[in-house]
Amino acid sequence: MRRVWAAVPGAGVCRVLAVAAAVVALSACSPKHLIVQGIANEIASQGQAPEDDLVLAREASAFYLKLSESLLREVPENAKLSESVATGFTQYAYAFVAFEAEKLDATDSKTAQLLRERAARLYQRAHRHAMAALERSTPGFRQALESKKPADWPALRAEQVGLAYWAAASWGGFISLSKDKPDAVADLPLVVRLAQLAYAQNPAYGDGALAGLMGTLEAARAGGSRTQAVQYFEQAIALGAEHSAGPLVAKAEGIALPAGDRPAFEALLRQAISVATAHPDLQNAVMRERARWLLATADDLF
């Protein structure tokens, strides 16, 4: 998913671990639930870290995700932590597992398939956390989403947009790796519906992240409008204020590649590399690596 990048273990984790260490000292006089809730809030509140070393981020992310998920089991009502966990698993699956599978496809198809299956499981894990949080805040959410009557569809509140975004993004990621499973593919209209509900509440969410997701889904769905997809991608690029490489890579893959437009494809990717280099952070580092790989394999794609 070419989106907002959540906190990466760094200075924030040091603070979290300091709080965790304090649990030992405080457990004799403080309720466990309040202590865990405090740690959970600390993790959920971490902003985007300046880390742009992908190897370091990958090595640290597994611990961070397991810690966050363990805390969430203790305080499942913490919606912000639910969103943080769903975010983390979605991004880890996309950047470090599914992408690795793509790179191995040509040389080691068996390992690539195993990685795709793992990425699909991680996407499912992210989706479960996000949907469980939506269900807790709006009982009957999934059933309402599945209704054939638009009047019955759930109306998202502003504070639910992030959860809905990550629920849709992880769901879409899972479906993209499950094209041989008709039951999974059949859920794509629900993914689109969920993203549309989030977009209706806050189209600018994530500095263009949601608009970019809308573009990707519009380009992928049966009967989708290429014109509408382009508009979503252009909105995403504008909202990113030219500091986010993600929408550029998404447009290259979602519009230029299917159209067989190699010049546009390569121009978008080079622009993405330039943006990522000028604005170093983890999200842009992921996109820069992907853009470089796509350029290097362009002869196989066209």
For residue 297, give the CATH number of its domain: 1.25.40.920
Comparing 40 with 162, which gets the higher pLDDT?
162
| pLDDT for position 42 | 46
Residue that finishes a domain, picked among 16, 48, 75: 75
Model confidence band, residue 60 (pLDDT cutoffs 50, 70, 90): confident
Asked whether residue 264 is domain-assigned, the answer is: yes
The answer to whether residue 182 is domain-embedded is no
Q: Give the domain range for residue 64.
A: 7-75
Please indicate, yes or no, if residue 237 is contained in any of the structural domains.
Answer: yes
Kindly state whether residue 58 falls inside one of the protein's structural domains. Answer: yes
Contact 81/44 with Cβ under 8 angstroms? yes
Mean of pLDDT over the chain: 85
Domain boundary residue, one of 34, 56, 75: 75
Q: Does residue 146 contact residue 190 with C-beta atoms inside 8 Å?
A: yes
Question: Is the residue at 173 inside a domain?
Answer: no
Judge whether residue 285 has pLDDT over 60.
yes
Rounded average pLDDT over 170-199: 95
For residue 133, give every residue at least 6 positions away whose Cβ sits within 8 Å of its Cβ, in sequence order, or none: 79, 82, 83, 86, 163
Please tell me the total count of domains within the chain.
2
pLDDT band at 20 (very low <50, low <70, confident <90, very high): very low
Which pLDDT belongs to residue 241? Answer: 75
pTM of structure: 0.83
What pLDDT does residue 45 have? 54
- Candidate from 89-93, 166-170, 218-222 with smallest mean pLDDT: 218-222
Per-residue model confidence (pLDDT) at position 2: 39
Q: Is residue 124 part of a domain?
A: no
pLDDT for the residue 50: 54
Angle between helix axes 161-176 and 79-92 (nearest 10 degrees) is 30
In this prediction, residues 33-44 reach a mean pLDDT of 45
